Amino acid sequence: MIHMTRFGARFITSLVATMGLFLLSTQGCAPAAEWYMGGAKKEAPAEDPLPSTPTPAPVTAVEQLPEKLSPSGEPVDPIKQKILLLPFRDLTKHKGPWDIHTEFARGLGDSLRKFDFLHVVPVDAVLQHLSKEELKGKIDNARAIQLARLAGADISVLAEIEQLTMSRQVVGVPLGGYRGYTGKSTLKAYLISEVDGRSKGEPSAAAVSDSRRTGVVNPALHVPLEREYDFLGEAPWGSEQFHSTLLGGAVGQSLQQLSQKIVELIRPNADFDVSDPLIVENDGTAVYINVGSAEAVNNGDKFGVYNHGRELKDPQTGAVLGIGLPERVGVVQIEQVLNEHLSKGRVLDGAEKIKRGFPIRAE
């Protein structure tokens, strides 16, 4: 039986390549060795970072964020859901070289940017405004809402890293045994709405990437995986080298899973039971629309407001040719679902153009 440590395995690996499998002779099973993390059990935090009834702190308590948070500096379409990513909280007793608090947040941002209805406010936009503890993901709901308002975001994403391990197991070497290498990544996110401070869901994701070879063991087959296991910490996070490892594969899969579940929770419903969803009242400070809980509308959802189309005339004769296609003239966001078929909203764009009777669409 053997149980190789991270450092001892480097020496063993080099000997295997030159002296043959007899140097690793064993019968039976060696316990799985975990590289770079402690146990996989989730350790409960001293206090719940996400209280169920948050009270937003005053905006003046922190430094004002810069005006331009978009990496491109281009105006953001107001119809897009703006999502702010915050550092992940680590529950794994991380022992590796990477800053996983921010690297996971960056990776989630990369996974979310492919969805057209979203605008991602990257974690890097707020790092300089966070305390030492907040940089480690220790952020409560009230602070998350505060940061979302300062960043102009609709939703804050808090998250936890529950598991991040690379393990190795040796069984029955050299006679007909196998070696198993496994990378694991488990994540949980908390979506907080800026509009009402409520949770929009707590999606989770778990991914396992493994490579097992059975039968008579040829040492040469295991050299790449041994090197991956021993020198994993030398691969820069996010690099091609990192993503080619089992752990990197598991991380990528878990982030993809998490992004899909986040999208499912915050994408506005486009299939209304009401045949003609529209603005039923506009009093200048608020709008009311004829969709509500029956249409699965939620606080924070955004809808485009469209006119009825312009009358088009022949430029030479002045004859009316018809009505042009409706154009989007504004954007409204739901602030309060009042009943099954009525919601109150605020105007985000086009206040002077939105009129009673104009139809709305989810985009």
Specify the pLDDT at position 346. Answer: 93
**C-alpha distances out from residue 147 to 62, 139, 140, 161, 349, Å:** 9, 10, 11, 21, 22
**Tens of pLDDT, residues 169-192:** 766 555 545 677 888 999 999 999
What is the torsion angle, in degrees rounded to the nearest 10, for the CA atoms of residue 16, residue 19, residue 24 and residue 27? 130
Is the CATH code 2.40.128.520 the one for domain 6-266? no
Same fold, 6-266 and 279-361: no
Residues 6+ apart with CB under 8 A from 120: 83, 85, 109, 112, 113
For residues 186 and 162, the answer to whether their CB atoms sit within 8 Å is yes
Q: For residue 181, is it left (φ>0), alpha (ψ between -120 and 50) or beta?
A: beta
* Cα R_g (the chain), whole angstroms: 27
Residue of 168 and 142 predicted with greater confidence: 142
> Which pLDDT band holds residue 222 (cuts at 50, 70, 90)?
low
Specify the pLDDT at position 238. Answer: 87
Specify the pLDDT at position 174. Answer: 55
Tokens for 142, please give them.
């009230």
Specify the pLDDT at position 217. Answer: 56
The Cα angle at residue 14 between residues 10 and 19, in degrees rounded to 5: 140
- Surface-to-core class of residue 251, CB atoms within 10 Å of its CB (0-12 exposed, 13-18 middle, 19+ buried): buried
Mean pLDDT of all residues belonging to the chain: 79
Start-to-end CA span in the chain (Å): 60
Its CATH class, for the domain covering 279-361, is mainly beta
Residue of 209 and 229 predicted with greater confidence: 209
Break the chain into its structural domains and give their ranges: 6-266, 279-361
Section 236-260 average pLDDT? 92
**Tens of pLDDT, residues 288-334:** 999 999 888 999 999 999 999 888 888 888 888 888 888 999 999 99
Lowest mean pLDDT among 152-156, 210-214, 319-323: 210-214
Specify the pLDDT at position 309. Answer: 87
Nearest to 238, CA basis, from 229, 247, 230:
247
**What percent of the chain lies above the pLDDT cut of 90?**
50
Specify the pLDDT at position 212. Answer: 63
**Tens of pLDDT, residues 68-93:** 444 445 688 999 999 999 999 999 98
Section 194-215 average pLDDT? 85
Residues 6+ apart with CB under 8 A from 176: 215, 216
> Which pLDDT band holds residue 64 (cuts at 50, 70, 90)?
very low
- Surface-to-core class of residue 256, CB atoms within 10 Å of its CB (0-12 exposed, 13-18 middle, 19+ buried): middle
**Tens of pLDDT, residues 262-276:** 999 999 887 777 778
For residues 177 and 171, the answer to whether their CB atoms sit within 8 Å is yes
Residue of 118 and 314 predicted with greater confidence: 118
Section 42-50 average pLDDT? 44
* pTM of the predicted protein model: 0.77
Residue 159 pLDDT > 70, yes or no? yes
